[in-house]
């Protein structure tokens, strides 16, 4: 009997740990690898193409991994599958269907049943029941359609020990092109009401003996990125330090490890230890959600904001760890001005990324049950995103969407570091800057249309000249810096000053022909010859001290020459190494 486990991922680079783990567990317990096949697609593929591929695989049993981002696609696909493969059972699993499973089965005649909770052992027993032709009543963790369309529910599945799980990546191919997800724990000790993890407060840890073997697998295969899906990675200090110690001592110089953690729980010992890490070895995702005290109490989020701010700032000072800080709009007691304050509070912590998300009333979360109590109105379809609350109107939500888009484009992309800082300085707060910029961007029309990087720079200049009293010449220089910090442009942008005069070109050639200066600034390029070094790097003349502005926020006038080296990039921002060569330039 052939079972097909199907995942529809948000992007090609993503992978589905759930179906990998179920397959690995099933094979380890006697199911032939040829009888337990995986199929991964993305939400960007045509339903018709996925339908044809599944049909051609000739499965006897189909299982779908369901999340808020793919449940609509799965529903559309499964309706058609049920028509062309009417005898093939279709089973669902995953967080999007586990919590109101009986209602889901009743409403959707194409679904045979749902595996609730953890799926490794449940799917193994389900497969064996179909293979042997036995009834499903003795398989724990199921909700299914029985005789006469009656919906039956079996006993709750006891949770496995984490050491019983089977490492799912041993026989995987093409690892270098995917983000790999990995878990060393399940459960979360905290009870944040918007989060599904609050339904499982018992934390189970995988033994370090197994974890070390699996970490070494990632390191040996030089996997680009491993994302830990442990819900609060640092809730157990001994476990946390043991993992960090192993990846630090066995660092291969390539693999990046992503952890979701609570920054306020970090100890002085942990902060001191991670300060030793290679830049880019790890990155932290930190859920702040709000800085409104009443909001934090309402969502049962335990967090010392002063400690969180202190820990984030101390980690930031090391400049070796990418920090991603999250906010959620639409939570109880958070109105527009309160969220503005939360945004500015987090912005002041100088995160590498500031993600502005919107409350989603996830199926089975405590907040879903409290929607009536708080008067929260959300979409009826996935992802069940907030529409309005007693504190935040739909008009406010739309305005925050503008801030979200501009934050993503101009802050999180790291392509506008100097320019966006200047624009932020022209407004009372960073939030006000992105709000005004979002309104201006919408006024241009074509909302949602992908623009080129140069077009996004030109929008900044147009915004400045139309909506603020800032200095366009300063912005043009800062944007020129930002562009060349990212790439060695083939064609010069229209807003850049003219560096084509004969005197500049002559001085530029002399710089690269000077062996002493090449030895000082670009020793790695000596073997290339001066002409090739000139093509591979870039010199740019500025009338303001951009580096000092980025460091201190002070605008100093003068003549400054910066050298952009693209072979040496900052591992956090991916910007070129930039060196001020003005002193030697003045001696010419």
Q: Show pLDDT as tens, one digit a residue, over the chain (588 residues).
A: 999 999 999 988 888 999 999 999 999 999 999 999 999 999 999 999 999 999 999 999 999 999 999 999 999 999 999 999 999 999 999 999 999 999 999 999 999 999 999 999 999 999 999 999 999 999 999 999 988 789 999 999 999 999 999 999 988 777 677 889 999 999 988 888 888 876 777 899 999 999 999 999 999 999 999 999 998 899 999 999 999 999 999 999 999 999 999 999 999 999 999 999 999 999 999 999 999 999 999 999 888 899 999 999 999 999 999 999 999 999 999 999 999 999 999 999 999 999 999 999 998 899 998 999 999 999 999 999 999 999 999 999 999 999 999 999 999 999 999 999 999 999 999 999 999 999 999 999 877 678 888 999 999 999 999 988 899 999 999 999 999 999 998 888 888 877 667 778 888 898 999 888 899 999 999 888 899 999 999 999 999 999 999 999 999 999 999 999 999 999 999 999 999 998 777 655
Domain with CATH 3.40.50.2300 in the chain: 3-153
Give tens-digit pLDDT for 96-133: 999 999 999 999 999 999 999 999 999 999 999 999 99
Q: What is the DSSP string of 72-135?
A: HHHHHHHHHHHHHSTTS-EEEESTTTSSSHHHHHHH-TT--EEE-S--HHHHHHHHHHHHHT--
Nearest-angstrom CA–CA distance, 498 and 475: 15
Evaluate whether 358 touches 330 at the Cβ level (below 8 Å): yes
CA distance 225 to 240: 18
Angle subtended at Cα 476 by Cα 471 and Cα 481, rounded to the nearest 5 degrees: 130
Superfamily of domain 172-392: tm_1862 like domain (3.80.30.20)
What's the gap between Cα 587 and its chain centre? 47
- Largest Cα–Cα distance in the chain? 92
Rounded-to-integer distance, Cα 512 and Cα 21, Å:
55
Give φ, ψ of 157 to 5 degrees.
-75, 125
Other CB atoms within 10 A of residue 350 CB: 13
Beta carbons of 562 and 481 less than 8 angstroms apart: yes
One of 3.40.50.1820, 3.40.50.2300, 3.40.50.720, 3.40.50.300 is the CATH number of 3-153, namely 3.40.50.2300
Note if the bond before 383 is cis, omega within 30 degrees: yes
Distance between CA atoms of residues 51 and 27, nearest Å: 26
Give, as one character, the DSSP assignment of residue 410. Answer: I
* Residue (of 292, 295, 284, 427) closest to 353 by Cα position: 284
Give strand pairing partners of 41.
Answer: 8
What are the helix and strand counts (H, E) for the chain? 23, 20
Residues of the chain with CATH 3.80.30.20: 172-392
DSSP string, 120-139: HHHHHHHHHHHHHT--STTS
**How large is the C-alpha radius of gyration of the chain?**
27
Task: Please choose, from the candidates 532, 580, 535, 536, the residue with its C-alpha nearest in 3D space to the C-alpha of residue 559.
Answer: 580
Scanning 108-236, the segments in alpha helix (DSSP H) are 120-132, 208-220
Contacts of 30 (CB under 8 A, 6+ apart): none
Alpha carbons 153 and 139: distance in angstroms, whole number: 10
Angle at 350 between CA 345 and CA 352, to 5 degrees: 125
Return the beta strands (E) in 133-250 as ranges: 142-145, 151-153, 180-182, 185-186, 204-205, 225-228
- 473: Cβ–Cβ under 8 A, 6 or more apart, which residues? 543
Q: What is the DSSP code (8-state) at residue 26?
A: H
């Amino acid at each position: 009997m052939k079972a097909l486990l199907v995942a529809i991922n948000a992007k090609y680079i993503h992978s589905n740990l759930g179906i990998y783990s179920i397959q690995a567990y099933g094979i380890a317990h006697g199911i032939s690898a040829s009888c337990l096949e995986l199929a991964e697609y993305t939400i960007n593929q045509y339903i018709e193409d996925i339908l044809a591929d599944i049909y051609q695989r000739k499965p006897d049993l189909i299982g779908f991994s369901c999340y808020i981002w793919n449940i609509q696609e799965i529903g559309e696909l499964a309706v058609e599958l049920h028509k062309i493969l009417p005898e093939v059972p279709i089973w669902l699993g995953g967080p999007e269907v586990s919590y109101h499973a009986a209602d889901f089965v009743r409403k959707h005649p194409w679904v045979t049943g749902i595996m609730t909770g953890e799926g490794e052992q449940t799917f193994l027993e389900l497969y064996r029941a179909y293979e042997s032709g036995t009834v499903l009543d003795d398989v724990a963790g199921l909700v299914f359609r029985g005789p006469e369309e009656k919906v039956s529910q079996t006993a709750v599945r006891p949770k496995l020990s984490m050491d019983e799980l089977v490492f799912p990546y041993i026989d995987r191919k093409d690892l270098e092109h995917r983000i790999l997800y990995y878990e060393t724990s399940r459960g979360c000790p905290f009870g944040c009401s918007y989060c599904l993890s609050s339904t499982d407060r018992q934390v189970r840890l995988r033994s370090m003996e197994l974890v070390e073997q699996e970490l070494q697998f990632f390191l040996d295969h030089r996997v680009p990125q491993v994302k830990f899906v442990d819900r609060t990675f640092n809730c157990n200090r001994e476990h946390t330090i043991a993992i960090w110690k192993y990846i630090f001592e066995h660092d291969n110089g390539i693999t990046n490890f992503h952890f979701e953690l609570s920054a306020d729980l970090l100890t002085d010992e942990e902060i001191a230890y991670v300060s030793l890490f290679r830049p880019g070895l790890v990155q932290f995702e930190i859920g702040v959600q709000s800085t409104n005290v009443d909001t934090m109490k309402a969502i049962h989020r335990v967090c010392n904001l002063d400690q969180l701010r202190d820990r984030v700032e101390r980690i930031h000072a090391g400049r070796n760890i990418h920090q991603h800080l999250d906010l959620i709009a639409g939570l109880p007691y958070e109105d527009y001005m309160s969220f503005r304050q939360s945004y500015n509070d987090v912005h002041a912590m100088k995160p590498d990324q500031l993600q502005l998300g919107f409350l989603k009333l996830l199926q089975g979360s405590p907040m879903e049950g409290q929607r009536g109590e708080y008067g929260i109105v959300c979409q009826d379809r996935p992802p069940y995103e907030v529409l309005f609350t007693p504190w935040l109107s739909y008009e406010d939500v739309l305005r925050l969407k503008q801030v979200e888009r501009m934050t993503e484009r101009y802050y999180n992309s790291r392509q506008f570091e100097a320019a966006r800082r200047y624009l932020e300085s022209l407004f009372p707060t960073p939030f006000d800057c992105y709000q005004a910029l979002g309104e201006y961007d919408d006024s241009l029309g074509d909302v949602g249309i992908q623009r080129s990087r140069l077009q996004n720079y030109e929008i900044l200049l147009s915004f400045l000249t139309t909506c603020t009293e800032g200095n366009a010449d300063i912005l043009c220089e800062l944007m020129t810096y930002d562009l060349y910090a990212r790439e060695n442009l083939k064609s010069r942008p229209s807003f850049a000053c003219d560096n084509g005069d004969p005197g500049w070109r002559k001085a530029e050639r002399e710089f690269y022909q000077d062996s002493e200066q090449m030895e000082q600034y670009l020793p790695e390029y000596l073997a290339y010859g001066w002409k090739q070094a000139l093509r591979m790097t870039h010199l740019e003349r500025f009338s303001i001290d951009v580096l000092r502005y980025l460091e201190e926020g002070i605008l100093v006038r003068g003549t400054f020459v910066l050298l952009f080296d693209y072979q040496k990039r900052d591992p956090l921002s991916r910007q070129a190494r930039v060196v001020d060569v003005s002193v030697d330039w003045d001696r010419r």
